[in-house]
């Protein structure tokens, strides 16, 4: 692994009034990473980001950036720059003045400022709007200004607070690609805060999932999705069917469980008998059919289609099985006619291979 650029040691933040926003968090971020802090609103991710930038002081713990302890360094002296959620582009300055601001106030010589501003505007493709005022620009353009303004400072770490949340869907996709491209080009460590799992999954090289002020899991996007460590992570990242089950026995590499709505199942894995677990299966791993599937070792269950939602590329089907268990199944609409091939009220069979089940203990 590359050299560590940001390390966070046992950082906590308690606000007056007793709210603990960040609770004893520790992790390292390596040089050149595109790191995402992901979690529901109020999980402390923004507070953590603000503590890295220096706009908030930790109650306890240590933040080290580039090998230096930041405890006594004010935000204007830190090697970090932030892209704010509201962009915070200075309304009384032109685009060019906005981008030059950070260089001007720190006494960078005029000719160098000019060169770097030109470069920065080039980078975000705003050179032609250099003399515009922010109120004559769209949200996407303002965000690019905020980005250029931070990047011309050549920070060691760029912090992005929900950078895409205020953009419309199409622009968001564009910016997502743009941000990844930028990160590769400039070679700066990016830390992005987001509540949108798609955003985190598609952009980040590593994701820290946070809940209630604590880090639940840190992993690559694929690892988080396919090997979540807890119910919370499985549920938060993507859609998932969570089925309560109890381990009843063990035989070699397989164990048998008694699952709600599914009855006795043979699953690969080793867990002590009597344990309560959750079986998690992603909806796209489930297959649906009108007749009982043939094939050994498949987990299969009969049910009735309760709901079909059509999304164009996929259809989301909800199948009602025994004991009040509902299974969400995603079906690819891979031919033009027919759609999901099932309709509401139809009796169907749902099946999947046991290896696609994720076993969760917590």
Partner 1 sequence: MWARLKPGQGPLDYGNRLWLKTLFAAIFIMLYVPIVTLIAFSFNTDKRGVVWRGFTFQNYVKAWNNDALIEALTNSIVIALFATVLSTIIGALVALLLWRFRFPLKTAYEGFMALPIVIPEICMGVALLLFFANTGMMETVVSWIWPFNLANIIIAHVAFCFPFVTVVVRSRLVGFNRQLEEASKDLGASEWQTFWNVIVPFMKPGLIAGALLAFTLSLDDFVITFFTSGPETVTFPVKVYSLVRRGVSPEINAASTVLIVITVVATVLAMKLQAPAKQGKG
Taking residue 224's Cβ as centre, other Cβ atoms within 10 Å add up to 27
**102 interacts with partner 1 by CB under 8 A:** yes
Distance CA 136, CA 198 (A): 30
Distance CA 172, CA 176 (A): 6
Positions 136 through 165 that interact with partner 1 (CB under 8 A): 136, 146, 149-150, 153
Complex with partner 1: residue 58 or 102, whichever CB lies closer: 102
Positions 241 through 270 that interact with partner 1 (CB under 8 A): none
- Cβ of residue 190: shortest distance to partner 1, in angstroms? 15
- Cβ of residue 200: shortest distance to partner 1, in angstroms? 22
Positions 74 through 93 that interact with partner 1 (CB under 8 A): 74-77, 80-82, 84-86, 88, 90-92
Burial environment of residue 31 by CB neighbours within 10 A (0 to 12, 13 to 18, 19 or more): middle
Complex with partner 1: residue 106 or 185, whichever CB lies closer: 106
Dihedral sign for Cα 88, 22, 3, 184, please: negative
- Cβ of residue 145: shortest distance to partner 1, in angstroms? 11
Contacts 24+ apart (CB under 8 A), 172-176: 172/199, 174/140, 175/140, 175/143, 176/202, 176/203
**101 interacts with partner 1 by CB under 8 A:** yes
Written as six digits, the tokens of 146 are 């905020």
Complex with partner 1: residue 45 or 153, whichever CB lies closer: 153
**290 interacts with partner 1 by CB under 8 A:** no
**Beta-bridge mates of residue 251:** 254
* Beta strands across the sheet bearing 60-65: 19-30, 4-15, 60-65, 68-69
DSSP H helical ranges for 10-94:
45-53
With CB under 8 A, what is the number of residues at the site for partner 1? 30
Complex with partner 1: residue 79 or 269, whichever CB lies closer: 79
Positions 111 through 140 that interact with partner 1 (CB under 8 A): 129, 132-133, 135-136
Complex with partner 1: residue 56 or 178, whichever CB lies closer: 56
Complex with partner 1: residue 81 or 183, whichever CB lies closer: 81
Exposure string for 120-130, b = 16+ CB within 10 A, e = fewer: bbebbebeebe
Distance CA 70, CA 62 (A): 8
Complex with partner 1: residue 131 or 276, whichever CB lies closer: 131
* Interface with partner 1 (CB under 8 A), residue from 27, 32, 55, 320: 55
- Cβ of residue 104: shortest distance to partner 1, in angstroms? 9
**291 interacts with partner 1 by CB under 8 A:** no
Residues engaged in binding partner 1 (CB under 8 A): 53-55, 74-77, 80-82, 84-86, 88, 90-92, 101-102, 105-106, 129, 132-133, 135-136, 146, 149-150, 153
């Amino acid at each position: 692994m590359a050299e560590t650029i940001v390390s966070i040691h046992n950082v906590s933040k308690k606000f007056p009034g007793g709210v603990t926003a960040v609770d004893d968090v520790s992790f390292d971020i390596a040089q050149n990473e595109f790191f995402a802090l992901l979690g529901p609103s109020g999980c402390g991710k923004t507070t953590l980001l603000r503590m890295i930038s220096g706009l908030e002081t930790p109650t306890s713990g240590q933040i080290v950036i580039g090998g230096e302890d930041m405890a006594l360094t004010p935000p204007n002296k830190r090697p970090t720059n932030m892209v704010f959620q509201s962009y915070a582009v200075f309304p009384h300055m032109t685009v060019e003045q906005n981008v030059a601001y950070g260089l001007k106030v720190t006494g960078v010589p005029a000719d160098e400022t000019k060169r770097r501003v030109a470069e920065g505007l080039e980078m975000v493709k705003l050179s032609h709007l250099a003399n515009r005022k922010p109120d004559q620009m769209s949200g996407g353009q303002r965000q690019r200004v905020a980005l250029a303004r931070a990047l011309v400072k050549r920070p060691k770490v760029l912090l992005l607070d929900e950078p895409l949340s205020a953009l419309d869907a199409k622009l968001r996709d564009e910016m997502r690609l743009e941000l990844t491209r930028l990160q590769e080009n400039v070679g700066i460590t990016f830390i992005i805060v987001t509540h949108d799992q798609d955003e985190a999954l598609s952009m980040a090289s590593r994701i820290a999932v946070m809940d209630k002020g604590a880090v639940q899991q840190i992993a690559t996007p694929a690892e988080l999705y396919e090997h979540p460590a807890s119910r919370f992570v499985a549920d938060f990242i993507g859609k998932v069917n969570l089925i309560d089950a109890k381990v009843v026995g063990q035989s070699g590499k397989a164990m048998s469980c008694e699952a709600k709505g599914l009855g006795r199942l043979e699953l690969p894995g080793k867990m002590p008998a009597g344990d309560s677990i959750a079986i998690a299966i992603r909806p796209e791993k489930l297959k649906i059919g009108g007749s009982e599937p043939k094939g050994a070792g498949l987990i299969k269950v009969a049910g009735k289609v309760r709901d079909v939602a059509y999304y164009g590329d996929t259809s989301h089907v909800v199948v009602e099985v025994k004991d009040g268990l509902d299974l969400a199944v995603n079906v690819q609409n891979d031919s033009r006619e027919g759609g999901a091939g099932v309709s509401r009220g139809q009796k169907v069979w749902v099946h999947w291979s046991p290896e696609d089940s994720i076993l969760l203990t917590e």
